[in-house]
Chain A
């Protein structure tokens, strides 16, 4: 059981389909397998067990992902946006091995010992040049397939470990082999160092869906490529969808080929998804929740749910449009209180998950409990019908006067105010209450910066303890490039005397 098996099956069962690239000149599955085998043959001659990538999306990504698997090496995509000291530390942890930088990647000098640099162009040229080495799948199901550095919004990046059996279990458990119609194409714009960038390749290959790659995201390029390549499917993180929606509104352009759009990786502003539903009425929407440590998706809100809940008059049903749906059939999800006891529907607690795809492991060891459960550090609750609602990271919970407050709950209320374009609620030190609730607001276009009105709005809808004691206005909130809000940076910015 090796992720390369997924490609071998596609090459066997869909030899005439394009795997990656344009409709006319793309690489078909048998050719992709041949190139991956050639890459594996070269990797096997190198020292070290890592095959690192410092690049955006390109044809080199599937070659290195599957090539590493065939050679028994670990694929380690790294963000090329890391600051140089952080990058040097990350690369130092990956040595010895091969490092493939993209055209624009800036390598730290001196480079950590033990890394052999192959330029992306060298890798591609060599893969095309070699004769088929006919490598056999070497990795054991228990071997490490992928190392991903999690975003580290609250500290040093951690290296999450994903093993072959976990990734294969995720794909076999959630994707039907070659179920895609021959005309389908998916636009991959999430970077390869994000778990969705990896799972997009694996699930598209297994489904037989052509992969179209956008090297680095911007809304205009995304829309143009989607139209040029008649893209039918795509996955985006919330900041991407917000920018795509803004671009569609401003330019008047549409994406007639698009039929299916999944989103995840953070909290989606309700207004963005409502506008997207209006602008793209023929598109099926999927909200997916997953973590790097769970091999991607563990729960989803499917297209039928979106349609039912968007048109429902029942408040409980309408609320579910803001949920992340229900667990995959192959996954168990439980909410637990701080003592570890499972709680009833409607009660807030920590999200725990169990299933064959759940890795819950870092380079320094496993965090899964003996019985397989993994604590996500996400806060949330399940409703009576089993829909999962998330309220942010537990590490972001504000403790005010002994009461635990969820920033997400207060942010949801503020986002519903017409004068609010974006908002982050953070806890700052307070002499009397321990922490105070502070809202950092990006005003809507032309809206007044009226703090008392927003405080009043929250007090009317939530308890007074949840009302921000301070409202700050900023032109934009700090997000990392995969859409995670950098709350720590806001806390640093505003923790001086207000």
Chain B
């Protein structure tokens, strides 16, 4: 993959799908640049122009869930879904896995 295909996934940066309603925020940056897609299309920087959405790849419609954390073990990327959508998150073509819930008791 050329670096031109990679997304600049800084911690705290926010991204949205080009083809569904999904939005994510970067919790942990990847060790090296990777391409982030949602619904098969490269993710776009949040807040940019809402161009006419394309269609999600029918093979990548597992959906995202608000408040769930997604990880790609190989790159180290960790994301938080800030808006649900129909597309599946993929990192360099690999579907991101949903992380297990935090089990800490309330402390404040």
Contact = CB atoms under 8 A, between A and B. Distances in A.
Interface of A: 1, 5, 8-9, 12-13, 136, 141, 165, 168-169, 172-179, 186, 196, 199-200, 203, 207, 209, 233, 235, 260, 262, 264, 284, 286, 288, 290, 296-297, 300, 302-303, 328-329
Contacts of A168: 12
Interface string B64-81: 001111000000000010
B66 A297 contact: no
Contacts of B104: 174-175, 300, 302, 328-329
Nearest to A13: B66
B25 interface: yes
A193 to B, nearest CB: 14
17 contacts: A1-B11, A5-B25, A12-B66, A12-B83, A174-B102, A175-B104, A200-B108, A203-B106, A203-B108, A209-B106, A233-B106, A235-B107, A260-B106, A262-B105, A290-B107, A300-B104, A303-B105
B82 interface: yes
B27 interface: yes
Contacts of A177: 66-68
A165 B11 contact: yes
Interface residues of B, number: 21
B48 interface: no
A165 to B, nearest CB: 5
Contacts of B14: 1
B101 interface: yes
B58 interface: no
A94 to B, nearest CB: 24
Chain A binding surface SS class = mixed
B16 to A, nearest CB: 14
A136 B33 CA distance: 28
A438 B83 CA distance: 59
Given A12-B83, A13-B67, A176 B108 contact: no
Given A5-B25, A177-B67, A286 B82 contact: no
Contacts of B83: 12
B106 A286 contact: yes
Nearest to A328: B104
Contacts of B66: 9, 12-13, 177
B47 interface: yes
Nearest to B104: A174
Contacts of B103: 176
Contacts of B80: 172
Contacts of A297: 107-108
A209 B105 CA distance: 13
Contacts of A264: 107-108
A1 B12 contact: yes
Interface string B90-108: 0000000000011111111
A168 B25 CA distance: 11
Contacts of B82: 5, 8-9
Contacts of B101: 176, 179
